Amino acid sequence: MRIEGGRFKRTRFIQTDKLVVAVEVEMVVPNEDTSEPCYEAETVSFLKEVKERAERQELDWLLKNGKVYAAVGVN
C-alpha cells in the first residue's frame, strides 16, 4: 500500500566491515503526519537486502543498485 504524500529522493549509506554502499531511495512525507519523512515497506526491504548483500560482498548486484566503497587496509 502506497502512502499518500510528498516524495523525494535521498542517498542512504549502508556500512559493513569492508564496504560502504550508497543507494538512492524514496522517502515520503505523509499527508496525515507531516512532522517527518518516512520509508515505505518496499524501501525498508530494499535497504535490508542491500545490507545482506553487502555483508556477502555481492559486488555485481551492489554495483547495479548503488555506489560501492571499499575500506583500504582492512584485515
pLDDT tens digits for 16-35? 999 999 999 999 999 998 89
Domains: count for the chain: 1
Mean confidence (pLDDT) of the chain? 93
Count of Cβ atoms closer than 10 Å to residue 54 Cβ:
23
Domain ranges, residue 53: 5-70
Query: pTM of this prediction?
Result: 0.88
In a domain, 30, yes or no: yes
* Cβ proximity of 54 and 16 under 8 Å: yes
| Helices and strands (H, E) in the chain, number of each type | 2, 3
In a domain, 52, yes or no: yes
Checking if the pLDDT of 75 tops 80, the result is no
What are the φ and ψ backbone dihedral angles of 41, each rounded to 5 degrees? -55, -40
Q: Enter the C-alpha cell of residue 32.
A: 496525515
In a domain, 75, yes or no: no
The pLDDT, as a whole number, for residue 46 is 98
